[in-house]
């Protein structure tokens, strides 16, 4: 196993371009992504971050207290509850699931059953002695065993929630870099309203977007600025294509390639992103405009 491959995490509020940038970068011969683009076992509930640092995001205060006590007062050797949940998900929905377009995805696409079980066995043996190193070993062990591993220097994961837990990812992986994909919140709302998992009311969807942004901005405060790239989807695809494209590769200290350039030119045309589409898709968009101004004032005051 080697840990030289550099991890990069793109993320945002959802429907903000996290997968778009992941697909672009994964065309580069030195950057690996996909199969699946979202591994889930790092930042999902009962993933590696929760095993090491406790479960975040519980709405009920008493659950947050229990989770904190579990990981701060219960030794790694005795965290059997979380470990059982981790194993269950590694063999369950992280292994095989339906994605947002109803296609079958999951870790099975690039990992054999034998390798999965071997990784779990090693992880369970190492975790009681050193939970952090065991978790790192699990990540890099998975990356080494991916069937499409061609010795790339960089790996990218595109789970939208990556940014909201960037502080904890950076604790676990101090060399990690983060691409925070942002998009006009009103257009994000218009996209979210079409999803079966999202709010169905524009103002409620905007509140959802505000909460996601607030958590993400707070988490990024704990990450060195040199490890974070803030990138607007509209700038990358429409308004500032060349400069934004170059920013990506400058940030990763990698030269652009003919493969990424071709993908950018052909698969990411300027008309792919409709700026201001919410005006044609949301009937009372003026009300959304007013609420959005108030949200921005709260977020960036």
Q: Which of 47-51, 70-74, 92-96 has the lowest mean pLDDT?
A: 70-74
Check residue 280 and give its pLDDT.
97
Check residue 1 and give its pLDDT.
45
Phi-psi region of 46 (alpha: psi -120 to 50; beta: other; left: phi over 0): left
Q: What is the mean pLDDT of residues 112-138?
A: 97
Q: What is the mean pLDDT of residues 265-282?
A: 97
- CB of 162 within 8 A of CB of 11? yes
pLDDT class of 63 with cuts at 50, 70, 90: low
Q: Which of 32-36, 57-61, 138-142 has the lowest mean pLDDT?
A: 57-61
* Cα 38 to the center of its chain, rounded Å: 7
pLDDT class of 64 with cuts at 50, 70, 90: low
Scanning the structure block, which residue is given the tokens 């979210």?
192
Check residue 184 and give its pLDDT.
98
Check residue 287 and give its pLDDT.
98
What CA–CA distance (Å, rounded) separates 133 from 135? Answer: 5
Check residue 81 and give its pLDDT.
87
Q: What is the mean pLDDT of residues 228-247?
A: 98
Check residue 59 and give its pLDDT.
55
Which has the closest alpha carbon to 10: 274, 236, 296? 236
Q: Which of 3-17, 123-137, 228-242 has the lowest mean pLDDT?
A: 3-17
What CA–CA distance (Å, rounded) separates 27 from 33? Answer: 8
Pairing assessment for the beta strands 104-105 and 97-98 based on DSSP bridges = antiparallel
Q: What is the mean pLDDT of residues 200-215?
A: 95
- CB of 288 within 8 A of CB of 186? yes
Residues 6+ apart with CB under 8 A from 67: 50, 54, 55, 56, 58
Inform me whether the pLDDT recorded for 69 exceeds 90: no
What CA–CA distance (Å, rounded) separates 228 from 179? Answer: 6
Q: What is the mean pLDDT of residues 246-254?
A: 98
Q: What is the mean pLDDT of residues 99-112?
A: 92
Q: What is the mean pLDDT of residues 3-27?
A: 93
Inform me whether the pLDDT recorded for 248 exceeds 60: yes
Check residue 100 and give its pLDDT.
79
Inform me whether the pLDDT recorded for 3 exceeds 60: no
Check residue 118 and give its pLDDT.
98
Q: What is the mean pLDDT of residues 233-242?
A: 98
Q: What is the pLDDT of residues 148-173, one digit of tens each?
A: 999 999 999 999 999 999 999 999 99
pLDDT class of 61 with cuts at 50, 70, 90: low
Q: What is the mean pLDDT of the chain?
A: 93
């Amino acid at each position: 196993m080697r840990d030289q491959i550099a991890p990069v995490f793109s993320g945002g509020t959802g429907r903000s371009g996290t997968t778009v940038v992941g697909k672009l970068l994964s065309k580069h011969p030195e950057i690996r992504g996909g199969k699946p683009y979202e591994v889930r076992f790092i930042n999902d509930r009962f993933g590696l971050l929760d095993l090491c640092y406790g479960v975040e995001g519980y709405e009920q205060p008493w659950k947050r207290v229990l989770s904190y006590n579990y990981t701060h007062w219960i030794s790694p050797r005795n965290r059997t509850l979380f470990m059982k949940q981790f194993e269950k998900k590694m063999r369950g929905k992280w292994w095989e699931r339906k994605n947002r377009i109803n296609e079958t995805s999951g870790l099975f696409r690039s990992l054999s059953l034998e390798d999965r079980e071997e990784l779990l066995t090693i992880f369970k043996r190492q975790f009681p002695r050193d939970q952090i190193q065991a978790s790192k070993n699990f990540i890099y062990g998975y990356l080494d065993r991916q069937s499409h591993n061609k010795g790339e220097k960089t790996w990218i994961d595109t789970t939208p929630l990556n940014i909201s837990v960037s502080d904890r990812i950076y604790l676990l992986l101090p060399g990690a870099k983060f691409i925070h994909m942002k998009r006009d919140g009103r257009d994000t709302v218009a996209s979210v309203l079409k999803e079966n998992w999202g709010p169905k009311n524009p103002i409620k969807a905007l509140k959802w977007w505000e909460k996601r942004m607030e958590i993400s901005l707070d988490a990024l405060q704990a990450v060195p600025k040199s490890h974070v790239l803030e990138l607007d989807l509209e700038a990358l695809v429409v308004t500032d294509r060349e400069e934004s494209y170059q920013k990506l590769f400058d940030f990763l200290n990698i030269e652009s390639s003919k493969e990424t350039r071709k993908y950018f030119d052909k698969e990411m045309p300027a008309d792919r992103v409709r700026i201001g589409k919410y005006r044609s898709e949301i009937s009372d968009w003026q009300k959304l405009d007013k609420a959005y101004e108030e949200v921005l004032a709260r977020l960036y005051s």
